[in-house]
Amino acid sequence: MTVSATGETVLPPFPVPRPASCPLQMAPEYGEWVAQEGLERTVLADGTPVWAVNRYADIKEALADERLSADGRNPNMPGPGTGPDGTPSFPRMDDPEHNRIRRMFTKDFTVKRIEAMRPGIQKMADDLLDTMTAKEGPADLVQEYALPLPSLVISLLLGVPYDDHEFFQNHTMLVLRSGVSKEEMMGSRRAMFSYLLDLVERKEREPADDLLSRLAQEQILTGQLRREEAVVSASALLVAGHETTANMIALSTLALLQHPDLLARIRDTDDPKVVANAVEELLRYLTIVHSNVFRVATEDLTLSGTRIKAGEAVSMNLPAGNWDPAYTTDPGTFDLDRDTRGHLAFGYGTHQCVGQQLARAELQIALPTLLRRLPELSLAVPAEELTFRNDMIVYGLYSLPVTW
Amino acid sequence: MHVVLDEPKCVASGQCVMAAPDVFDQRDEDGIAILLNENPGDELHAGVREAAAICPAAAILLAEK
Ligand code: HEM
Ligand code: SF4
């Protein structure tokens, strides 16, 4: 907490922007918050005060505590908690309702199902690089590779025509920007909602081999799930499914370009375990979900020695937790040999990321493929000119101009 | 070592399958964990302990003998 010139206390913002001088590092404030017991009183971009939970152990405790609710219908839940008709997606529900609906989606994200998708993902990655390198460089790696790859994958998996990608990519950007007005954000959410509503209706009549068709046939037409419930959750999956991985691909590429020795190890290894651990370390080191993991207290409780009153909002500071020296030593170093088990990049508890196995497969394919096919890859602009997504729910790069 | 899976708690993260593929699998219909071996041999203990430690739902319980 700081005191302004007029003597009022000014709450620190959440999330605190990463330092402009080292945009891959955490805000130095996070180190201070983790060093002491207790939660930090902070304020979101829209002025809502929230308690930031910063320590690794405190985040795990909070995400396992049933008195901290994810219910989007709670008026104290920051951000839009429900779809346009008042129905929340399953990420914004509590158990047992949450788990009932989550289990309708998890079928398509098991370790086995994702393994089977690997050859298809590899082909998409190769095709995108063929297209990018057929032109003269430089190119924007975000637009040519990092964003289209996960966008193609999630569209195929859900059964959303990729031809409509401009529409849903644009609306996803707006939904995930922390600074936009509530009206603008609701406009985008409504547009996505009615688009998906039409699509799901079509899948009820003409099923294909995809997640939305299966949901339509097995859950909606059998009365297990209302169409609006299916659509608001599918929309959450569409948004979460491409922006997160896209930002991880771009930001990881930058991190590797800044560590040529580590880049060479990933490029030259034929050991999938080395690549897998590198991806886990990138997930931990970069922790791109730096906001939006909100919960609301349903009763008074004490966490990390801080008293939280019923109705107050709490925000998990996942970057701080993954950089807590009590979790891992020398957390600010990007280290391919680190024991990365138990990192919090995908959250913890009953809401831990549904798409984590898919995200792992995409990253384990996208990064080595890029490095092997373009061994001369380098930045096309000075690093100081890159613009970072401090104002988005998911951290990352707006663009990454590269040559090869 | 005796392993117990608290199935209703499982959230189908797949983390146990990654950590100990000889002991855990996932159901095809909804990704919920299945226990393949309740009494895994010594060579599997490290993986099972890891699975229990990282399971996001604390659904894997171990009784060490
Ligand atoms: C590197 C990529 C990714 C990261 C870092 C990430 C991170 C996260 C985090 C931190 C949460 C927990 C949110 C909370 O507790 O409130 C989460 C939940 C979720 N993620 Fe991901 N995610 C990624 C990729 C994906 C992909 C590819 C998909 C979809 C296919 C996806 C779908 C979801 C969904 C639906 C939830 C909500 C789960 C629930 O509430 O039960 N994510 N993710
Ligand atoms: S790690 Fe836990 S939550 Fe994840 S699949 Fe295994 S038992 Fe279920």
What's the pLDDT tens digit per position in B31-54? 999 999 999 999 999 999 999 999
* Single pTM value for the model: 0.95
Q: B3: Cβ below 6 Å to ligand 2?
A: no
Residue B56 to residue A356, Cβ atoms within 8 A: no
Which residues line the pocket of ligand 1, CB cutoff 6 A? Answer: A 90-91, 102, 154, 236-237, 240-241, 244-245, 248, 288-289, 293, 318, 345-347, 351, 353-355, 358-359
Which tens digits make up the pLDDT trace of A275-303? Answer: 999 999 999 999 999 989 999 999 999 99
The alpha carbon of A299 and the centre of ligand 1 are apart by a number of angstroms equal to: 26
Residue A1 clears pLDDT 60, i.e. is over it: no
Q: B58: Cβ below 6 Å to ligand 2?
A: no
Higher pLDDT, A130 or A176: A130
Tokens of A85: 């008709």
Q: Which residues of A touch B31 (CB under 8 A)?
A: 103, 106-107, 109-110
**Which residue, among B13, B17, B29, would best test binding to A if mutated, counting the most A CBs under 10 Å from its CB?**
B13
Residue A111 to residue B14, Cβ atoms within 8 A: yes
- ipTM greater than cut 0.90: yes
All structural domains of chain B with their residue ranges = 2-63
Higher pLDDT, A46 or A369: A369
Q: Among the listed ranges A19-23, A116-120, A330-334, which one has the minimum average pLDDT value? A: A19-23
What CATH code would you report for A28-403?
Answer: 1.10.630.10
What CATH code would you report for B2-63?
Answer: 3.30.70.20
Which tens digits make up the pLDDT trace of A118-143? Answer: 999 999 999 999 999 999 989 999 99
d(C-alpha A310, C-alpha A232), whole Å: 27
Residue nearest to atom 25 of ligand 1 (CA): A355
Residue nearest to atom 31 of ligand 1 (CA): A355
Mean pLDDT of A145-162: 93
d(C-alpha A124, C-alpha A4), whole Å: 52
- CA A78 distance to own-chain centroid: 17
Q: Count other C-beta atoms under 10 Å from residue A155's C-beta.
A: 21
pLDDT at A174: 72
Residue A6 clears pLDDT 80, i.e. is over it: no
